[in-house]
Amino acid sequence: MQPTDLPPTELESMNRDHRDQVEMLRAVVDALDALDDSEPRRRALDEALEDFAVHTREHFRQEDDQMRRYHFPAFDLHRESHAMAIARMDTVLARWRVDGDRDALGSYFRTEFPAWLAHHVGSMDVICAQFVAGRAH
Ligand SMILES: [Fe+2]
Ligand SMILES: [Fe+2]
């Protein structure tokens, strides 16, 4: 996935966050591709995973705050979509720490999450940004 694969929204701050999110996703995939049995490579992957998880949580939290502040009508639905994505991400990361299954982790970061993200941004973030941009000035 490339940052340009995501549909643009009307909020530049949101677009920036989405670009960062895709960059962090790509960093995880690169670290996974480079993974061998060495400690530095394993550490590089752990750091990339941590950066991705922290950024993703923070981004969803910011969107939730914005929707709450501007009384976005579909707030509950959108917030629920974030919560489910975080729960799934936490499950995948917890499993990875237990079983170290590279294929399962790779499938999540190469296929599952990018597909979810493209759909989420296209169906929810675009509408949310449109609403917030209309209210914010
Ligand atoms: Fe978003
Ligand atoms: Fe969102």
Confidence of residue 1 (pLDDT cuts 50, 70, 90): confident
Ligand 1 centre distance from Cα of residue 52 (Å)? 13
Q: How many CB atoms lie within 10 A of CB 11?
A: 20
Q: What is the pLDDT of residues 73-126, one digit of tens each?
A: 999 999 999 999 999 999 999 999 999 999 999 999 999 999 999 999 999 999
Closest ligand to the CA of 120: 2
For the stretch 4-13, pLDDT in tens is 889 999 999 9
Rounded distance, CA 117 to CA 81, Å?
11
Cα-to-centroid distance, 1 and ligand 2 (Å): 18
How many A from CA of 40 to the centre of ligand 1? 31
Ligand nearest to the CA of 7: 1
Residue 80 CA: distances (Å) to CA of 1, 63, 70, 90, 106: 24, 12, 17, 15, 25
Where in the chain are the domains?
Answer: 3-135
Model pLDDT for residues 26-69, shown as the tens digit of each residue: 999 999 999 999 999 999 999 999 999 999 999 999 999 999 99
Determine the distance separating the centroid of ligand 1 and the alpha carbon of 16, expressed in angstroms.
10
Provide the pLDDT confidence category of residue 137 given band limits of 50, 70 and 90. Answer: low
pLDDT at 2: 85
**Domain 3-135, CATH:** 1.20.120.50
73 C-alpha to center of ligand 2: Å? 14
pTM recorded for the entire structure: 0.94
